[in-house]
Structure 1
Amino acid sequence: MNAAIYVRVSTDQQAEKGYSIATQLAACRKCACELGATTIEEYVDDGYSAEFIERPNLTKLRKAVKAKEFDLVVFYDPDRMARNLLHQLIIAEEIDKSGAELKFVIVNYDQSPDGRFMFGIRGLLAQLEKEKIKERTMRGKRGKAAKGMVISDTKPFGYRYDAVKSSYAINENEANIVRMIFNFIVINKMGTARICKELNARGIPSPRAKKYWIVSSIYRILTNTLYKGTIYSMRYRYEKIGLHKKKRTLRPESEWIPIPVPAIIDEVTWQAAQKQLQENKDFAKRNSKRDYLLNGLVTCARCGRAMVISHSGCKEHISYYACLSQKSASYAYSGQESCTARQVPTKVLDEYVFNYLLEFYHNPDTLTEHIQAVPEGKDLQQHKAALAQMGNVETELIKQKDTVLRWFRQKMLTENDAESQLQDIGRQLADIAQMKKTYQTELATIAPARSTAEIAAAIKTSFNKGNFTDEEKRVAVRAIIDRVIIERVDNTRGRGSCPQINVQLRLK
């Protein structure tokens, strides 16, 4: 009698519970020999979950069964075959159709209707137990995260794991490198590739003792909220879609669980780094087929959207700054109306802006006039207005608190009523304080305006040349300008037309 035995184990924990490969093989061999097997072929899947039917050696066994190579197939128990009831029934039916006998070491199985029914019940119970294990595991992780404990150590650069507290502690040697990386991008305005090159040139050790720093490692550090003091648990949902394959989807932000950790850099520095990363992306040469002086800086005054490079279809290949809503397919298919702002030739606007800045260099008085004439940015105005409003509310709440205390002293309120009102006012004051802190942090990241003297010094440094190459012009302009807001106001058309443009420069 030719027999096949199949054994499987997915984790070390199962080995501890008596499901080790050696234990299963010994029991299955004994069972096969007792049933009269003369030859035994073994199929072993070590480190594979029973959740999926596609397992290397199980697949080989099923092919051999279909070829009717065996008279007997032995499993230790149905869980080793599969945990999914449907998978168990498929494999059992394949064995039955081949004419072979199916046996389990610790479970009785027969091919009668009652036997198949009990086999199905056991499969359902195994599947239920699997779901209960997953639910208990997830509940335990949520509970641990809710207590502010790190669920698993991902070995982040700059930290060491404290197993006793289930938290991270700062590794000062690595933390100094993290601070250096943030200084490179925030202060020196370096890109990730240049930071990578600088660290390698200095011989600074990389994460996990790799030979060189790579760009992706720099980017992960710069975008990880861990370094400003917060990591998020339950941020992603993982779903198995095949053997050793998982699908990761982002959960709604309301489901994320924040876990506080010691911060290596402050909130303002982290936000400044995110802004610089976005600027680097906007101005990257690879994102533009040609170098344009103001590419990535121009905003439509009519709708507030960015203006992108557009090209004419004529032989001269004239280029324009055009509103994004007129060129982006996402706007065309979304049903939104396109902006009616007219295109502006890149050559006209580039020359105008560069000469305007050059005038600041030659005549500093015009810089003062410009700064006085330009209002603060919209975001800056909104944040200042919100902070002022919160200050007024805070003042009013403090007055209410004083009134409650006065009424209590005058015995116009009972102790319980006074305590209740004071607690309510205290909660509102705490909420206001938290909101003010958030707005003040954001306000510090909205490109705080430099003084006239600082801007003049930057212009003097950037424009202290006789002749500029195109690249030198780009560098000089980006050192001074944060945003160029434009609108074309003339009605002239044709190649010989002279466009009239309202231009508003936002200086850094």
Structure 2
Amino acid sequence: MSEPEVIKIIFDKIGNEKWSTIKVCDYLNALGVPTSYAKANRKINSKDGKRKVATANLWRPGQVLRISKNTTYKGIHTYGKRSKKERELIEREVPAIVDVELWEKVQKQLKDNQAESFKNKSRDFLLSSIVKCGDCGLTFIGSNDRKTNRAFYKCIGKQNYKNPIENKKCESKNIPADYSEDMVWEGCLNFINEPGKAVVEIEKNIKSNKEKFVNTEVEINMLNSSLLKKENEKESILDLYRKKLINSKDVEIQLSNIQSEKAQIEEKIKELNQIKDTTNQMLASVNSATEFLNSLKEKSIDADFKTKREIIKSLIKKVTVITNHDLPRKTATLQIEYNFSGNNNYNVEKIEGVTHTDMDSLQQSK
């Protein structure tokens, strides 16, 4: 099956048959249609970032979504969309694979699909984006059992197409939402009332953190300078194209190379900024910890959902679900890691209560 034929199938299924991106993926994978990565034998970074590995050759919702939003397939190719500078975009006509009417139908259906997913959400989840999986490292998301109407958190790795390398689902334990949220909130209240150990730990590491902060900032500045040079290279290529000194094929080759180099630099900057933010927070917290915690103590009294969410995000770096696979029935333990801890393993609270298996919602184990 040729690439244009695959593109036409994607647009037809979404625009005319009102399929979701997941259903399109199921269909393409069932047909055995290879992805662009598989055709080109391209590889991606492994989870440890130290080596390149082959993909699982699966169509994924993100790929289908990018294709379905791409204006190139309706005959319009735009240069300069990713530039951070406010410069004129360059549009050129290219051979269309689908007509404009179908392309517009697909955009409407994508919006309808998104609206439908929000409509099906029956409650807000206090720990949204905070709970991480101890098995695969992905995020737990809030969900509802339609039969029992019970809410729980489950690893997003249990869904199809979430692991870019291995074609398998995560086998971690689901956790009951109400029970887990109560336990984490109780942990926050305990931390607010007895933060002493965390403050001491920060003070012990203040000197080394200052050095780390300075060194990280220097490296980020150097990388930002390199990123700016790449952006200038990109604008120079576009200027040559505007002056008709190079053709569109040369532009695509040069921009592709520049974009690849920029992506590597941006990934490193993102990593260093996370280190810098964490270090800066730790440095600032020594002088402001008492005042900060006192303000949280006041807010925590009769706190509503929004306030609880604010407090939890202020205090907690992440909550990790550790699944025990050795027992006849899986059990789970929550580990809370606080932002105000100098040592990630020092101020971690294990909430063993989640290992209870006599609750209906804990039966959501697969």
Fold conserved (TM > 0.5)? no
Give the structure-1-normalised TM-score: 0.30
Query: Over alpha carbons, which structure has the higher Rg?
Result: 1
Give the structure-2-normalised TM-score: 0.40
